[in-house]
Structure 1
Amino acid sequence: MLVAQRRTQLLQLLKETGRIVAKDVAADLGISEDSIRRDLRDLAAEGLCQRVYGGALPVSPAIVDYTTRQWVEPDGKRAVAATAATLVRAGGTLILDGGTTALAVAQLLPRDLECTVITNSPTIASALLQHPHADLFLLGGRIFKHSAVACGAAAVEAAQNVSADLCFIGVTGVHPEAGLTTGDAEDAAMKRALASRAAETYILASSEKIGTASPYRVLSWDQTAGVITDADPSSATIKEVAKRGVEIVHATVGGHAPSDPDSVSRQ
């Protein structure tokens, strides 16, 4: 089998099964495990898979630039954001991470909601300027342009001096084995700093992020209150995540967010 054919087969297997175990594929094809690992290394260099110990996982489409990501699954992101917005209670304090789904959350918060919002995203801060009853705190630092957020030592230090009832964190990958991941080490550290300052942290994860992985771990499953997603509740990945004791909050594309936070669909 030619190298190009073998790599095409690997990508097809990754699409069908959601993972590649190098030793198993090598045995099936009757070639060396080193050959499969070289193929995976080359595919990862082209951005076509995410290498992990022993094989590879699907790469997240959310690693593209901020402007492009605004057009990736916009209906799913809006559904997730609408559901997340119902969890924000009047008088509460919310930490809102950056990214396109978090921006949708800010835009969907009721204009008359009295609350405090802490964010490291200038884009989100700008979106909340039209909310007259929301107190707004912007954490500063080096701007990571991929997600339009402040990160780095100064931003992490600023985060350590705030506290909140609720935190919404965006990730680029949600996978039962790889966990909650993102594409930049400093951004991952900032997300951990934000999450550590809230009583409850929910993960915003539209369906294109489910079953995918990025290089840097953000949080462990036991550090999250739940995952808010529009992914099919019957999907194998969602079921595996739920088995780890993670609450799955289901968002419906095309539906309307319930006015009562306690009526949000959970698993």
Structure 2
Amino acid sequence: MSDYDAFPEQRQTLIQKILEESGRVVGADVARQLGVSEHTIRRDLQELARRGICKKVYGGAVSQFKQSASFDIRISQNIQEKSGVAQYCADLIRPGTCIFIDAGSTYLSMAGFIPPQMELTVVTNSPQIAAALSGRTQGELILLGGKVYPQTGSVLGTGPINQVRDMLFDQVFIGVCGLDPEAGLTAVYYEDACFKKEVLSQANEVVAAVIADKMPQIARYKVAPCEAIDIVVVSSLTNTESFSRTDVQLRVAE
């Protein structure tokens, strides 16, 4: 066996491999595996973080956040994976309820699986989702008003936040930029994080659709802990190992 204590390059290569495979490393576990001190592993993680390979968190590190493409581009990516998750989410909707659907390419796909005859009030901050549901003749469709952010494909700002404060949702389908067992739900943009927090405060039940490249991962702004999410719907490709010691209710869409 190599003397990992004497060869930091080998240690860091192994740590990087673990990050690529599982998205997260626990410092104490890696230290035991390699027979080195936790202090040594912390130095390695500091170096990997400096090189932009990972982001340090309490007790270890997670993969560096992968910046998402624009909304228009994301629509054409991972279509089959998103479709399975989207259909599962649509099956969770109960007739006669008021739901909020956050902007996102997976939720845009979900709109196509909502039965058109279902009596339902749908509120969304996504012009694309509103357009996809505009032919519904049962229930109500409410598009929040404000400035559209091209990167998220959503309406954000004080206007929609104020509108949401006057609404109560039976279900919220919240958009996910990153989800991690320690950091919880995170967002790339500050305005998006602020809006999501307000929506969650008005929700009776929260559902999060998460495809493989969003979990585990940490974006820049915290939105809510994992405990604030009632159901996390993932694809069979999603690595959920790091969530095995949490109380998160995972549903796998085949």
TM-score for the superposition, normalised by structure 2: 0.82
For residue 245 of structure 1, the aligned residue among 239, 244, 247 is 247
Question: How far apart in 1 are the matches of 2:236 and 2:64?
Answer: 17
Maintained 8 Å contact 1:14/1:58:
yes
Q: CA deviation at 1:6?
A: 8.2
Residue of 83, 93, 99 corresponding to 1:88: 93
Structure 2 residue aligned with 1:41: 50
What residue is the counterpart of 1:72 in the other structure? 77
Residue correspondence of structure 1 range 172-211 to structure 2 within 5 A: 172-211=177-216
Q: Is the 8 A contact 2:27 2:41 kept in 1?
A: no
1:36 offset after TM fit, Å? Answer: 4.8
Find the aligned partners of 1:29 and 1:235 in 2 and give their Cα distance.
25
Distance 1:231 1:208, change over 3 A: farther
Conserved? CA contact 2:122–2:140, under 8 Å: yes
- Range that drifts further, 33-42 or 117-126: 33-42
The residue that corresponds to 2:113 in the other structure is 108
Take 1:73 and 1:62, find their aligned partners in 2: how far apart are those partners? Answer: 16
**3-state SS of paired residue (1:156):** helix
Do the aligned residues in 2 keep the contact of 1:50 with 1:214 (CA within 8 Å)?
no
- Return 5+ residue gaps in structure 1 as ranges: 253-267
For residue 209 of structure 1, what is the amino acid of its counterpart? K
| Paired residue type of 2:88 | T
Partner of 1:256: none
User: What is the rounded CA distance, in whole Å, between the counterparts of 2:170 and 2:56 in structure 1?
Assistant: 36
Which is worse superposed, 97-106 or 147-156? 147-156
Give me the whole-angstrom Cα distance separating, in 1, the residues matched to 2:99 and 2:45: 46
Which residue identity is paired with 2:252?
Answer: H
In the alignment, is the contact (CA less than 8 A) between 1:62 and 1:69 conserved in 2? no
Query: For 1:89 and 1:3, how far apart are their aligned partners in 2?
Result: 54
For 1:205-244, list aligned pairs within 5 A. 205-231=210-236, 235-240=240-245, 244=246
Q: Which runs of 5 or more structure 2 residues have no equivalent in the other structure?
A: 1-5
2-side partners of 1:121 and 1:198: how far apart? Answer: 18
Q: Distance in 1 between matches of 2:39 and 2:200?
A: 46
- Aligned residue type for 1:180: L
SS in 1 for 2:115: coil
Q: Does the CA contact (< 8 Å) of 1:40 and 1:55 recur in 2? A: no
Q: Which one-letter code corresponds to 1:245 in the other structure?
A: D
Normalised by the length of structure 1, the TM-score is 0.78
Aligned residues: 245
**1:166 offset after TM fit, Å?**
0.8
Q: Which runs of 4+ in 1 moved over 4 A?
A: 1-10, 20-36, 232-235
Match of 2:166 in 1: 161
The residue identity in structure 2 corresponding to 1:42 is R
Q: What are the Cα deviations for residues 94-144 of structure 1, in whole angstroms up to 9, with x where unaligned?
A: 111001011111121112222110011111111111222241111122322
User: Is contact 1:210–1:231 with CA below 8 Å preserved after alignment?
Assistant: no
